[in-house]
Chains A and B, each alone.
Chain A
C-alpha cells in the first residue's frame, strides 16, 4: 500500500467513551440551573398594573384575557396558549409582568394552566 488508508476516528472515539463519564444530566434528581433572563412562567404584580390592556392587545397568541378583579380589568395568562415571547412584558408601561425560572409546567388538567392576576404576585405559582 502506497497511500496510507485513514482509519475512521470513530473506532477510537467509541472505545474511549466506554470509560468516559456520560454526558447525561440526571434531570429529575438534579434540577438544571436556568440562565438569567430565562423565559419561564409569568409573575404578574397586580400593584403595578394600570389595567391598560396593552399586554392583551399585543399578545401574538391571544393568550391574555382581561378579567375582572375587584372591579378592574386585569390580565389572566392562559399558559396553554402562551408562546412565552414576553412581548407583554415589553408592552407593559409599568413593568408589571416578569419572568420566573419555573419551566416545569406540565399538567394533566388543562384548567390548571393559568396564571391568575390576583394570586400571582408573590410567587410564580398559584397552586
Chain B
C-alpha cells in the first residue's frame, strides 16, 4: 500500500506531473526573460515577482477564454490533437531520471532511449495533425512544415543520441546518465554541439523556426486554435522544449548526477538537473537570438547535406574514441 502511495506521489506530484508542469512554466519564464535581456529589454515584470507568474497567467487566461471550433474542421482530431500531444510529451518525462531515479521507479529498461525519442516523434505528429485538421491554409502549410522538419531532423537526432549510448554501452537513458563520471559533452564536444543544433531544429527554434514564421504563415498550425486547446498547444510546445533540453542533459551532461555536498542526495540531484537544464535553455535561447530564420528549403538542405553527414562522422569518431577509451568507460 505504501509503495502505491509513493508511486502515485512520484507520478502526480514530484518529480512527475505537477513538478514537470511547474518547471515548464518556470523555464518558459526564464526563456522569455533571458530573450528579453539579450534583446536589451526587461521582459515580463508585473505578473508576480519579476513576472515569474507570467506563463501561469497566460495559461489560466487561455483556459477560460471562449473556445471556438471552426465549423468545417475535422472535429475529432482538431479537438484532441493538442491534449494528446501535450500528454505524450509529459509521459515521456516519466522515463527520465530527474531526482536520481526515474519518475516511475524501475521503469528504466534497455532501449528506453529509443522509446523516448519515438514518443517525441509521435507527439510531434500530433502537433502536425492539429494543424492539418484546421482546414486553414496557413495551418496546413505550418503543419506540413512541422512534418517535413521533424521527419528530416529525427534522423541526425537519433544518430547523435547513439553516440553517448555507445560510450555508455547501454541504450537506457538512466544508465547513460549514471555512467557519465565525466560528462560526455567534454569527452565528445562535437557531438554535443551537433546535438544542440539538431535539437534547435527539432524544437523549431531560430534559425530553424520555419513552422512559426509569422510573417509567412501567420500562426502556423496554431492559427485556428482558441481558448483551452490553444493553452494546451502552447504548453505542449513548452514541455517539448524542456523535454528536448532534458534529453540533452541526460545524454551529454551526466543527467542529474553531480557532487552531493550534504544532506539528501535527492535534493542535490534535482538541483543539478535543474541547473544543467537551465544552462541548455540559455544556450538554445542564445542561438535563437543571434541568427535569422532560414528558408524552408535551406533548412532541409542544412539537414540532408550538412547535419546528417556530420552526425554520421561524429558517430564514427565517437566509436573510435570509445574503443580507445574502452577500459576507462566500461
Interface residues in chain A, defined as those with a beta carbon under 8 Å from any beta carbon in chain B: 8, 10-11, 14-15, 17-18, 20, 22-24
Contacts and interface: CB of A to CB of B under 8 A. Distances in A.
Contacts of B289: 10, 14
B123 to A, nearest CB: 31
A8 B290 contact: yes
Interface string B29-52: 000001011111110000000000
Nearest to B289: A14
A18 B37 contact: yes
Interface string B272-297: 00000000000000100110000000
A14 B39 CA distance: 7
A14 B290 contact: yes
B281 to A, nearest CB: 13
Nearest to A8: B290
Given A10-B290, A14-B38, A24-B40, 12 more contacts: A10-B289, A11-B290, A14-B286, A14-B289, A14-B290, A17-B37, A17-B38, A18-B37, A18-B38, A20-B40, A23-B40, A24-B41
A23 to B, nearest CB: 5
Interface of A (DSSP majority class): loop
Nearest to B45: A26
B286 A24 contact: no
Contacts of B42: 22, 24
Closest 3 CB pairs of A and B: A24-B42, A23-B40, A10-B290
Nearest to A28: B46
B286 A22 contact: no
A63 B6 CA distance: 72
Interface residues of B, number: 11
A2 B40 CA distance: 36
* Residue among A8, A15, A18 having the largest count of chain B Cβ atoms under 10 Å: A18
18 contacts: A8-B290, A10-B289, A10-B290, A11-B290, A14-B38, A14-B286, A14-B289, A14-B290, A15-B286, A17-B37, A17-B38, A17-B40, A18-B34, A22-B42, A23-B40, A23-B41, A24-B40, A24-B41
A22 B290 contact: no
B37 to A, nearest CB: 5
A8 B290 CA distance: 9
Nearest to A24: B42
Contacts of A22: 36-37, 40-42
A59 to B, nearest CB: 39
Contacts of B40: 17, 20, 22-24
A14 B37 CA distance: 9
B283 to A, nearest CB: 11
A10 B40 CA distance: 13
A29 B108 CA distance: 53
Nearest to A11: B290
Contacts of A24: 40-42
B258 to A, nearest CB: 24
Contacts of A11: 290
Contacts of A14: 38, 286, 289-290
A46 B24 CA distance: 62
Contacts of B36: 22
Contacts of B34: 18
Nearest to B34: A18
A31 to B, nearest CB: 17
A10 B36 CA distance: 15
A2 B250 CA distance: 40
A5 B40 CA distance: 27
B319 to A, nearest CB: 28
A24 B46 CA distance: 14
Contacts of A23: 40-41
Contacts of A17: 37-40
A28 to B, nearest CB: 9
Contacts of B38: 14, 17-18
A18 B289 CA distance: 11
A76 to B, nearest CB: 38
Contacts of A18: 34, 37-38
